[in-house]
């Protein structure tokens, strides 16, 4: 199964992606984490990406596409993947089409997480990540760790992402509105898109996402897709 997860910063993509991927036994690929791995390694690509990330801007398409293409070429995605944070604009969506066509595979679902912007700011301001494993995500109010500043899962130190400062989050939201939100129109005519509310508890949203995946595309949209692929 191959799934895309789209949604503004703070919608809970990372939190849901880990759970969905585990539930569906597929690889979780986070575009942001791929870049942060480059930053941790101190690579030239990482240094360049960091500048864009700290400014709340998208990393240049050619860089991001290459990073994702390499990741999708690894054998562990044969059973499927959940791609979180890519594509973030139309150029990337078209590149993903080419990559998938090249590997004779296709997407099964695109989940679009929807959330009011005021809630995004609240969520991101309190978001804390574990230094030992960034997939361990907490929130100072909504899902606080048992011991302040320590990860419940592995004891790692919790920290705030440098691009989670409010001024940067507002820029990231602008970029989302102008560049990423239109990506849903790339997938809607193919009957792949489901919009789900990202408000509520983690389990509640996960249940919504799983229900959306098992419902699959609706028939009318399926016909549109079949007609456009002929
Ligand atoms: P995320 O971890 O998904 O919130 O992404 C953090 C930052 O990484 C974004 O604000 C961008 O600067 C960069 N980034 C992540 N995914 C992409 C992408 N698909 N295209 C360009 N930049 C990206």
Output the tens digit of pLDDT for each of the chain's 230 residues.
999 999 999 899 999 999 999 999 999 999 999 999 999 999 999 999 999 999 999 999 999 999 999 999 999 998 899 999 999 999 999 999 999 999 989 999 999 999 999 899 988 989 999 999 988 999 998 899 999 999 999 999 999 988 898 889 999 999 999 999 999 999 999 889 999 999 998 999 999 999 999 887 544 344 344 444 43
Helix (H, G, I), strand (E, B) or coil at 129: strand
CB contact at 8 A, 206 and 197: no
- How many angstroms does the Cα of residue 230 sit away from the middle of ligand 1? 34
Ligand 1 pocket, mutate which of 4, 9, 13, 31 (most atoms under 8 A from CB) = 31
13 is catalytic: yes
Closest CA to 208 of 83, 10, 23: 23
Beta strands in the chain (DSSP E): 2-6, 27-30, 81-84, 109-114, 127-130, 137-139, 158-159, 193-197
Looking at residue 221, its pLDDT comes to 44
134 is catalytic: no
List the catalytic residue out of 161, 171, 188, 225: 161
Closest atom, ligand 1, to C-alpha of 35: 8
74 is catalytic: no
CB contact at 8 A, 57 and 175: yes
Tokens, residue 214:
């098992």
Q: Which residue has the tokens 């791995």?
A: 37
- How many angstroms does the Cα of residue 227 sit away from the middle of ligand 1? 34
Cα distance between residue 172 and residue 58, in whole Å: 8
> What domains does the chain contain, in order, with CATH numbers?
2-116+181-223 (3.40.50.300)
Q: Is the CB of 120 under 6 A from ligand 1?
A: no
- How many angstroms does the Cα of residue 170 sit away from the middle of ligand 1? 14
171 is catalytic: no
| Other residues' Cβ atoms within 10 Å of the Cβ of residue 151 | 21
142-159 pLDDT, tens digit each? 899 999 999 999 999 999
List the catalytic residue out of 19, 127, 134, 208: 127
Q: Is the CB of 92 under 6 A from ligand 1?
A: yes
Tokens, residue 39:
């930053």
Cα distance between residue 86 and residue 32, in whole Å: 9
Q: Is the CB of 85 under 6 A from ligand 1?
A: yes
- How many angstroms does the Cα of residue 229 sit away from the middle of ligand 1? 31
Segments in 88-138 forming alpha helices (H): 90-102, 117-125
Helix (H, G, I), strand (E, B) or coil at 3: strand
Name every residue whose Cβ is closer than 8 Å to that of residue 181 and which is 6 or more positions away in sequence: none
**Omega within 30 of 0 (cis) for the link into 87:** yes
Looking at residue 65, its pLDDT comes to 97
Closest CA to 107 of 86, 91, 89: 86
Q: Is the CB of 31 under 6 A from ligand 1?
A: yes
Closest atom, ligand 1, to C-alpha of 31: 16
Looking at residue 217, its pLDDT comes to 57
Looking at residue 151, its pLDDT comes to 97
Q: Is the CB of 32 under 6 A from ligand 1?
A: yes
């Amino acid at each position: 199964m191959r799934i895309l997860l789209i949604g503004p910063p703070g919608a809970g993509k990372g939190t849901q992606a880990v759970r969905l991927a585990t539930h569906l036994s597929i690889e979780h690929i986070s575009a942001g984490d791929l870049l942060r791995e480059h930053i941790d390694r101190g690579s030239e690509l990482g240094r360049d990406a960091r500048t864009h990330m700290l400014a709340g801007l998208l990393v240049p398409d050619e860089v991001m596409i290459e990073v994702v293409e390499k990741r999708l070429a690894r054998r562990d995605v044969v059973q499927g993947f959940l791609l979180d944070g890519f594509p973030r604009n139309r150029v990337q969506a078209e590149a993903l089409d080419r990559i998938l066509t090249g590997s004779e595979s296709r997407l099964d679902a695109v989940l679009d997480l929807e959330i009011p912007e005021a809630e995004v700011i609240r969520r991101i301001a309190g978001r804390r990540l574990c230094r030992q494993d960034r997939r361990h995500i907490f929130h100072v109010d909504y899902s606080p760790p048992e011991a302040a500043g320590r990860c419940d899962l592995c004891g790692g130190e919790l920290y705030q992402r440098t691009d989670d400062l409010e001024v940067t989050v507002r820029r990231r939201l602008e970029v989302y509105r102008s560049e990423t939100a239109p990506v849903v129109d790339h997938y809607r005519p193919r009957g792949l898109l489901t919009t789900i509310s990202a408000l509520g508890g983690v389990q509640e949203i996960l249940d919504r996402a799983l229900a959306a995946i098992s419902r699959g595309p609706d028939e009318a949209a399926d016909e549109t897709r079949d007609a456009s692929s002929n």
